[in-house]
Amino acid sequence: MSKNSFASWQYEDVNTFDYGKLTIQNLLHMFLDDGIIPFIQKNGYTFLSSKTLIGDSLASLLFYLDIDRQYMFDSTRNVNYKSELFNNYMYYPEWENFWKSWNNSTDNFFVDAEMKIQLLMWSCIDINKSKSCQDYLEDIDTNEDERMKKLKNMDPYLLDQLNASNHYKFTRFENS
């Protein structure tokens, strides 16, 4: 497939429940302006990338998934998908309501791409400037500090038992 097929794909019509017949391009603009970008920002995240770059990446991703698996598109940066911050973002409970709402109104246009879109959006987030990320990191640090204080104040014999590697927690003495 070529750039021409990508351009013609954007002008294909899709039927939606709430918005009627739209081109894919118009639907994606609506999704960016009224959906994914405000949702992520409302939840305390700040983007590294411009809306234009996010839109281009989203369109490329959907084209790749829908039409041409050979079509190449660049992610905005290398991303750590094994971090606690990432898990907190991906499994945020409001994602389910967000996707239910958008898939209901667009006749399931995004249903097969939900996770991929979430991954793409994560790659566009500025972790250092996002309030949600900083709050989460501070919460982890606070919890770790409190745990260490409790361990320092604990009876040394109990602490020893907690750290024992081959300790049986329950023993049973049988009378013969």
pLDDT at 130: 87
Q: Is the pLDDT confidence value at 173 over 60? A: no
- Cα(67)–Cα(54) distance, integer angstroms: 20
**Interacting residues of 83 by C-beta distance below 8 A, sequence separation 6+:** none
Residue 170's Cβ-side half-sphere holds a number of Cα atoms within 13 Å equal to 2
- Spatial distance between the Cα atoms of 120 and 76, rounded to a whole number of angstroms: 8
pLDDT tens, position by position, 74-131: 555 566 777 888 888 888 889 999 999 999 999 999 999 999 999 899 988 888 898 9
| Predicted model pTM | 0.73
How many degrees, rounded to 5, is the angle at CA 99 between CA 96 and CA 103? 140
Single-letter residue type at 159:
L
Residue 174 is classified by DSSP as P
Angle between helices 94-105 and 114-123 (to 10 degrees): 120
What are 120-168's pLDDT values in tens digits? 999 888 888 989 888 878 877 565 555 555 555 656 655 555 555 555 5
43-79 pLDDT, tens digit per residue, is 999 998 899 999 999 998 999 888 866 655 555 556 6
Q: What is the DSSP string of 68-135?
A: -TT-----SS---TTSHHHHHHHT-THHHHHHHHHHHHTTSTTGGGHHHHHHHHHHTB-TTT-HHHHH
Among residues 23, 71, 79, 26, the alpha carbon closest in space to that of 49 is found at: 79
